[in-house]
Chain A
Amino acid sequence: MRRMGWLFLAVLIGSLAWAQTPMRGGTLQIAVDSSPAGLDPHVATAFATFVVIGNIYEGLTEVDEGLRVRPALAESWKVSPDGLTYTFKLRSGVIFHNGQAFDAKDVVASFNRVRDPKTGSPLASRFNLVKEVRANGPQEVVFELSQPFSPFLSELAGLSIVPSEYVAGGGDLQRRAVGTGPFQFKEWVPDTYIQLERNPRYWRQGRPYLDALRFNIVPDAATRQIGISSGTYHFLPNIDPSLAVTLRNAPGVRLYQTQDLAYSLVGMNVSRKPFDNPKVREALNYAIDRRALVQAVYFGNGVPGGPLSPALKGWASPTSAFPCYNTNPAKARELLRQAGYPGGVDFTILTLGSVKTVVDAAQVLQAQLAAAGFRAKIEILELGKFVQEWRNSNFDAFASLNGGSADPDGYLYRTFSTGGSTNVFKYSDARVDQLLNQGRIATTLDARRRIYAELQVKLACQGPIAHLVYGTLFSAAREGVQGFKPVPTRSLLYLRDTWLAR
């Protein structure tokens, strides 16, 4: 009997091993909700674009599922002791999809294209500490920085390398993407699908396994849900928690999940009453019950979190580090009284009508805040009006959803530094500025961790943002889809390792 058991186990292990041997071929039918608005990796701001072109382009580095920086088109790199010079050794034998060989001049040209104001790239400001880029022979590129910038390697993952000759020859990257990645652009039928094909000359031997990726553009969530349940589609990347809940028990469908980098928040205008008073901001934090928000808005799929996503392991402080995260309406009232508002405060929360989780969060918040003396009026705006008010800092408070980054600097610098490009709160604090700059300059991991730990505590309770919830990021796949790993940055990096069992 015992022997039978062992035999059974051996057969089981054997068949599992067989099941996990990747198979070549097949087209992965993916359903996405919106159509990309152009494919140029240096101009795009829409997430719909990155989901597609992330399979076509590569950077010098890449960020993996644990948010670690890994070599990609750069094989290795050296950083000078003063942190000012980065020397990259480039991978040899890499060929662009149009047949052009990849070398150092493509890196220089891509970088200069991003920096050229005529390109109008939203990436430009991420690299404004770079003084000079030069090719040191075909296989080596040197970046000279004007001051040390620790997040540099992780930022480089977002800089897609485009073929210099194709661009100089008038190639149209918005409509025809040409990169070095595992899949190459085949066809784009607007609002129908984008088809990518296996790059037969890809430098990672044997990858990708799939013959093709087809991004079907399916705007209706119910249609995507039925599509994956019926097997019409194999894969739905980065879906809403509500759709994930519906698909959780669907036969033949499997959910992947990871911690999202994006977070919901309430932003406060510190140049206006009542939020000019740090005590009022602290009181607001005490008034919020973040666990209830996770349940009500995210169906339990998320965690309360401070200024950094818990996905940034080793960086994000536990919420126990923030005393104001212990919901306490009485304490909130007390703080309001100390701030000179014994009768409570009235204010307006602007929200974007098109993002359902945000509207839901605002409504739950309204009720929570009322218990502590905050009388919030919710004003739901159309995108145009919202962006205008947001940019012009014309609000008491707003509820919104912000994207994240693989490095703490990406979360904090532009948001909280004095005059930062998305500091619409008019927040300015000398110590915060000092820490933010030190966080960029510090070259040792330990030093940076200490700095960001202090920053998080400082920002969590009295900063201009009340951080609410980091949701769970879900993707759904048919059972035959193997080898995929979700990445908190929402990139589909691991489609190159994905295969279809038939």
Chain B
Amino acid sequence: MFAYTLRRLLDLVLVLFGVSVLVFLMIRLIPGDAVQIMLGANTEITPDRLEALREKLGLNKPLLAQYWDWLTGVLRGDLGQSVWTGAPIREEIFARLPLTLELTVLSLAFGVLLSIPIGVLSAYWRNSMGEYLVRLVAIAGVTVPSFWLGTLFIYLSFKLWPGFPAIGYVPLAEDPVGHFQRLLFPVLALSLPLLAGLSRLLRSTLLDILGQDYIRTARSKGLSERIVMYKHALRNALIPLVTVVGIQAGYLFGGAIVVEQVFALPGMGRLIVGAINERNYPLVQGTILLVTAGFVFINLLVDLAYAYLDPRVEYA
């Protein structure tokens, strides 16, 4: 387990290095002169202004030197400065990250915790009327995108519950009740598709497992159906669930970007979208690097959890 963890950590460092190179190059390989694009169309731009901005961003240096400056900065924890406001990027990220993490964690918790009973029950009652209904809802949940759900929730709350604060953001410290009220719909919009996907997965895995020999053995030993389900079937069914949850956590982060747009929440998603719209390249680099690092790190955790749950997993 120790050697496995160590090797996976080493992988992580390599992947992050590769990502840093990609993120850095991608922005420089976008068609068009970055500086001209930053200043936009239809404005009068003098060569002086172009040159001043190029120098400010260090774009007049050779590519390798630019990368070296950036990478050493990143390693020191300095992600540079936002082009337009001059604010340190690290500060901007730390101001936004907590909200997105909160959204992701709450949605993940909500989705996972509810998916287990739903998955178990629909495996129990398979092919009953109620189960068909659950399946129908689940298919809808998987196919309907979060942003559409979000808009629908805002609209419904306005129609049915006019006083409810569905839009905007209040910090937790300022007004805890208002804070969670405003997070309710975003979390629902994010977690429903997850909930639907996970419970479907759990149902089919459980059905598969319940047909296996060792379950028949357990039953023939006279164990109660409850024990068979929870001790034998569910534990094994959770292994693929963990993998999927890991992948989904990354997607949730992506979904949060869209949901933040819809609910006007100031999270990482808004920061990234804003940075891209404003052509704020240092900020784009910094945020993408961080999000990718998060994604890679979650994958590491999943792999470790997997190795823990299933002792057969080893580093191949």
Contacts and interface: CB of A to CB of B under 8 A. Distances in A.
A352 B34 CA distance: 17
Interface residues of A, number: 49
Nearest to B147: A220
Interface string B30-63: 1111101101111111101100110000000000
B1 to A, nearest CB: 42
B264 A223 contact: yes
Contact of A192 (B42, B92, B151, B266): B266
B306 interface: no
B264 A219 contact: yes
Interface string A401-445: 011000000000010000001100000000000000000000000
B270 to A, nearest CB: 4
Interface stretch (A226-234, A240-248, A280-288, A307-315): A226-234
A120 B37 contact: no
Contacts of A37: 83-85, 278, 280
B155 A45 contact: no
Interface of A: 34-35, 37-38, 45-46, 117-118, 120-122, 124-126, 172, 174-175, 189-192, 216-220, 222-223, 226-227, 229-230, 232, 352, 382-388, 390-391, 400, 402-403, 414, 421-422
A383 B262 CA distance: 23
A397 B310 CA distance: 63
Q: Which 7 A-B pairs have the closest CB atoms?
A: A388-B32, A120-B49, A38-B84, A37-B84, A117-B48, A384-B32, A191-B266
B167 A125 contact: no
Given A124-B46, A219-B273, A223-B151, A387 B40 contact: yes
Given A174-B86, A388-B31, 16 more contacts: A34-B277, A45-B43, A46-B40, A122-B49, A190-B271, A190-B274, A192-B169, A220-B262, A222-B262, A226-B154, A383-B37, A384-B30, A384-B34, A388-B33, A388-B37, A391-B41
B162 interface: yes
A166 B92 CA distance: 25
Interface size class of B (residues with CB under 8 A): 35 or more
Interface string B154-195: 110010001001011100000000000000000000000000
Given A120-B49, A219-B270, A387-B36, A226 B158 contact: yes
A403 B280 CA distance: 23
B261 interface: yes
B31 A385 contact: yes
B21 interface: no
8 contacts: A37-B84, A122-B39, A190-B271, A223-B262, A383-B279, A384-B32, A387-B37, A391-B41
B37 to A, nearest CB: 4
A400 B42 CA distance: 10
A386 B33 CA distance: 11
Nearest to B30: A384
Among B31, B41, B266, B271, max chain A CB count under 10 A is at B41
B95 interface: yes
B240 to A, nearest CB: 35
A428 B279 CA distance: 33
A219 B86 CA distance: 23
A120 B261 contact: no
Contacts of A388: 31-33, 36-37
B84 A117 contact: no
B263 interface: yes
B109 interface: no
A223 B263 contact: yes
B13 interface: no
A220 B264 contact: yes
Given A190-B266, A218-B167, A230-B158, A120 B52 contact: yes
B14 interface: no
A106 B208 CA distance: 79
Nearest to A383: B37
A120 B48 contact: yes
B87 interface: yes
Contacts of B86: 38, 172, 174-175
Nearest to A382: B31
Among B40, B162, B271, B277, max chain A CB count under 10 A is at B277
B142 to A, nearest CB: 23
A192 B95 CA distance: 12
A319 to B, nearest CB: 24
A190 to B, nearest CB: 7
A226 B164 CA distance: 13
B264 to A, nearest CB: 4
Interface in B242-264: 261-264
Contacts of B165: 232
Nearest to B163: A230
A125 B44 contact: yes
A385 to B, nearest CB: 5
B311 to A, nearest CB: 46
Contact of B168 (A126, A190, A232): A232
A422 B42 CA distance: 7
A385 B46 contact: no
Given A38-B84, A388-B31, A45 B264 contact: no
A223 B154 CA distance: 7
A382 B276 CA distance: 12
B49 A117 contact: yes
A252 B164 CA distance: 18
Contact of B274 (A35, A189, A383): A35
Contacts of A175: 85-87
Contacts of A385: 31-32
A384 B84 contact: no
B44 A220 contact: no
A391 B36 CA distance: 9
Interface in B10-35: 30-34
A219 B257 CA distance: 12
A174 B85 contact: yes
Contact of B44 (A226, A383, A421): A421
A416 to B, nearest CB: 14
B92 to A, nearest CB: 7
Contacts of A402: 42
Contacts of A230: 158, 162
A218 B264 contact: yes
Contacts of A216: 168, 264
Contacts of B53: 120
